[in-house]
Chains A and B, each alone.
Chain A
Amino acid sequence: MVAASVADDSTLIKRPNAFRRLLRRKGAVVGLCVVAIFVTIAILAPWLAPYDPIATNFLQVRKPPSSQYWMGTDEIGRDLMSRMIYGARASLQAGVISVAIAVCLGVPLGLLSGYCKGWVDSLMMRVVDALLACPFLILAIAMAAFLGPSLTNAMIAIGLTAMPIFIRLVRGQVLAVTVEDYVEAARALGNPHLRIAIRHVLPNVVAVVLVHSTLAIAQATLAEAALSFLGLGQQPPAPSWGSMLNVARQFISQAPWMAWWPGLAIATVVLAFNLLGDGLRDALDPKES
């Protein structure tokens, strides 16, 4: 009990410091603002989009950016700006949900592996090694291929592919934490294993998971765009930045603007999550405090 209250108090003391340290980093603040802007755009898409993103207009085919169509139109006259706004939903949703899948599966498994040790740990680590040996994108493509092309399946494939790193990360952290005195004290007080794992070990893993999740969202957003670009993610006519780029490739000489916006948006979001992740890592690093 004493150990728990000490841990809780230290968490309470650290949190505002870490947030203040995060706000002192210009890169992280820029990243946070950009992410917030894109999230707002994704949420308010129905109100922000000037046109229906899937409505075709064959009188306005491949029009360059103008006052009427700020980002131009695509090969069947759809407004690119509206598709970009709705595309933000698919991309951010894919990034967040796939990482949520990876966290929900990876954290408990990593906790189990690091806490149980022995043959459970050895077996799980061999499986993790095997999964990490398969290159991320190739495994995601293979999974998406077997599951069938759709945004949901792409998210599942990316989530499952991103999971082993979380298992490895959490397991390493758990191994370091379980030898600490307060965990020994909690054990000596007769706390059951599940309580020790959840109340005393898990809170010490949260910071690492939070930092890696932010960086993993960047990677997952890129992976979703890549799968949609290959035709394995979001299916037409629903908009996604990756699938928009796939179509734009075929009209690159006639309508280059079709390729500008989705690529810029992907790069901006990925860069923002990377900056935020780097900032969080520095802010939550005890050596920095």
Chain B
Amino acid sequence: MLTYIVRRILISIPTIVFVSIVVFGLQLLLPGDPALALAGEERDPAVIAELRRVYHLDEPIWKQYLIWVGNVLQGDLGESIRLKLPVGDLVTAKLPVTMQLASMAILIAICIGIPMGIISAVKKETPLDYAANVVALSGISVPSFWLGIMMILLFSVHLGWLPASGFVKPTESLSQNLQTMIMPAFVLSSVTTAIFMRHTRSAMLAVLRSDYVRTARAKGLREPRVIFRHALRNAIIPVVTLGAIQLGELMSGAVLTEQIFTIPGFGKLIVDAVFNRDYAVVQGVVLCTATGFIFLNLCADLIYFLVNPRMRG
């Protein structure tokens, strides 16, 4: 088991190295001279020369990469041009907000998607199954930013139940925090709910056809016991690992949700940085998200290894 874990962690290292190359390589996409792009409206040659020196733009590209990686390994992701703050500090400040949003979204997806998948599989080819499939297909197809706007229209503008935007820290007021976060979390969870539903349904359908479930039924066990004790315990394994991967996807989806509901999280940070040409922040956010994503993938593999007895051999 230890060998597997160590091997799996070692495999992640070259991926992280290549991610760092991809993130660093993003600045090569900048049309023209990067120093001019960083200078913005400023056209003073002295300022541009200083920028070139500070950001090592006069060095060969491989050396620039090594300097950048060296700084990243020391926790220095650069400085935000607009906010004049270290990117690392900005990421640390915004990450908890997005983590709360993503965690709430995944909780909603589990509570809705998995039961829907079970019902859909157990009641296969009945109106309930068709309805669940329609909901799942809609979840995948409806753009989250449109769903968000429609929910604001209904719950904030027409019914006045929930605030349309804003954020209150949970340390200030937990109830207000939940009021501001519930609608964004629901919007963010729509795709994940659909994915959970579809995976649970197909996993349950496969398991319900297996011999041991037939044996359990033949023994005279009651249907709920067959479904929850025998079928679901095996069907849920791939869904659990999927959950860890989906958490990473939710961090990406949060970009749009945070923009619609004006939540000051990770997603809003990258969008604001994009419009202010704050490239260090863009690179920092992409690097942190990708590293987090690799870590979550690693967790997913380890969870799969731990919960699947056949993997432990």
Binding site for B on A (CB under 8 A): 126-127, 129-131, 133-139, 141-148, 218, 222, 225-226, 229-232, 245, 248-249, 252-253, 256, 259, 262-263, 266-268, 270-271, 274-275
Contacts and interface: CB of A to CB of B under 8 A. Distances in A.
B187 to A, nearest CB: 12
Contacts of B260: 249
B274 A141 contact: yes
A229 B26 CA distance: 22
Contact of B252 (A135, A222, A232): A135
A229 B279 contact: no
A266 B149 CA distance: 14
Given A142-B270, A253-B157, A274-B140, A135 B256 contact: no
Interface string B167-205: 000000000000000000000000000000000000000
A275 to B, nearest CB: 8
A222 to B, nearest CB: 6
Contact of B255 (A141, A143, A252): A141
Contacts of A271: 137-138, 141
A259 B153 contact: yes
B39 interface: no
Contact of B150 (A131, A145, A230, A259): A259
25 contacts: A130-B15, A130-B16, A130-B17, A133-B294, A135-B248, A135-B249, A137-B252, A138-B270, A138-B286, A141-B282, A145-B273, A146-B279, A146-B282, A148-B31, A229-B143, A229-B145, A229-B256, A230-B274, A232-B274, A252-B149, A256-B157, A263-B146, A267-B143, A267-B146, A270-B143
A133 B285 CA distance: 13
B150 A263 contact: yes
Nearest to A229: B145
Contact of B18 (A129, A263, A274): A129
**Closest 10 A/B residue pairs (Cβ):** A263-B146, A135-B252, A130-B18, A271-B141, A145-B274, A146-B29, A270-B141, A134-B290, A130-B19, A129-B15
A259 B14 CA distance: 45
A139 B149 contact: no
B295 to A, nearest CB: 10
B157 A133 contact: no
Interface residues of B, number: 53
A266 B153 contact: no
Contacts of B150: 259, 263
A134 B271 contact: no
Interface of B: 14-19, 21-23, 26-27, 29-31, 137-138, 140-143, 145-147, 149-150, 152-153, 157, 248-249, 251-253, 255-256, 259-260, 270-271, 273-275, 277, 279, 282-283, 285-286, 289-290, 293-294, 297
A267 B249 contact: no
Contacts of B146: 245, 259, 262-263, 266-267
Nearest to A267: B142
Contacts of A133: 15, 19, 290, 293-294, 297
Given A135-B248, A138-B255, A267 B18 contact: no
A45 to B, nearest CB: 22
B90 to A, nearest CB: 16
Given A126-B14, A137-B252, A143-B29, A248 B19 contact: no
B252 A136 contact: yes
A258 to B, nearest CB: 10
Contact of A146 (B27, B252, B253): B27
A142 B286 contact: yes
Contacts of A129: 14-15, 18
A249 B270 contact: no
A226 B143 contact: yes
Given A134-B22, A146-B27, A230 B271 contact: yes
A146 B293 contact: no
A114 to B, nearest CB: 19
Contacts of A253: 153, 157
Contact of B289 (A138, A144, A147): A138
Q: Which of A137, A145, A225, A232 has the most CB of B within 10 A?
A: A145
A8 B152 CA distance: 56
Contacts of B27: 146
Contacts of A267: 138, 141-143, 146
A134 B19 contact: yes
Nearest to B296: A133
Given A135-B293, A142-B270, A249-B149, 7 more contacts: A135-B290, A138-B252, A252-B157, A259-B146, A263-B142, A263-B149, A271-B141
